[in-house]
Amino acid sequence: MRFLEGKRVLVTGGSRGLGRASCLSFARHGARVAFTYVKNDQAAREVVAELVAQGASGRSFCVSVLDIAGTDRLVQELEETWGGIDVLVNNAGISQNLPLGLLEAEDFDHVMAVNVKGTYLTSRAVLRGMIRRKSGVVLNIGSLAGIRMVEAPIHYCASKAAIVGLTEALAKEVGRLGVRVLCLAPGLLGDGVSHDLADDRLAEYIRHCALGRMPQLEEVAELAAFMVSDKNSYMNGATIVMDGGV
């Protein structure tokens, strides 16, 4: 079943990890996909090639979520060439595996800026068109670390907890205007934060997971595709936890 036939989707941080898997999943479900990235041109080209190989329209933009002018330009370009954006996935995010004693104020500020302010800035740019058309879905990528007491860097946990609050407040504000806002909060993924974990900590996490494993990125991306689809038209303001039972 193709959940997203004809939808126009923008994914931030789409060149690797869950962002890449989401781009490919959305394309399989019939969407046109654009994504942003900030560093790896080769990885971005590879994702575009994979999208095209699936018969989908794929576009990449080298733009940071903190670049206000750049974000406004890419949104305007998609509005003009596509006629609008139906789905925004705020996936771009960073972390640092630092304990409190080594965590500098600049580190805290940077993680909060990318993960929270970046979500706000991109949402603001895209929502203008969604509100004008009275249609659209924003999916924010949160984390189990922002919902439950788990061992993770405090600035990362704080940023992901803020995403839950941002999701709820924004959903309340724009729901009456025909736009839904949701949050998907995965547990530990085989990409990102897990790369910096010691083997014993990773094993301890998996031991506490009822399914005894981390998810495949494709599994999370498939849920994301359903969440932003018209098949899920009455869910708004919700945070869905996908952690395998931790």
SS (H, E, C) 82-112: HCCCCEEEECCCCCCCCCHHHCCHHHHHHHH
- pLDDT (tens digit, 9 = 90+) per residue, 189-233? 876 565 566 777 788 889 989 999 989 999 999 999 999 999 999
The pLDDT score that the predictor gives to residue 119 is: 98
pLDDT at 183: 98
Separation of alpha carbons 163 and 6, rounded Å: 28
Domains and CATH numbers, the chain: 8-187+217-231 (3.40.50.720)
Question: Is 156 an annotated catalytic residue?
Answer: yes
Question: What is the value of pTM for the model shown?
Answer: 0.95
Residues contacting 153, CB < 8 A, separation 6+: 95, 96, 97, 98, 99, 103, 111
Which positions of the chain have pLDDT values less than 50?
Answer: none
187: which 2 tokens? 């547990």
Q: What is the pLDDT of residue 195?
A: 59
**Model pLDDT, residue 197:** 65
In the set 37, 120, 156, 205, the catalytic residue is 156
| Separation of alpha carbons 234 and 195, rounded Å | 36
Q: What tens digit of pLDDT does each residue of 155-174 get?
A: 999 999 999 999 999 999 99
List the structure tokens of 226: 């359903």
Residue 139: predicted pLDDT: 98
In the prediction, which pLDDT does 193 show? 60
Residues linked to residue 139 through DSSP beta bridges, in sequence order: 89, 182
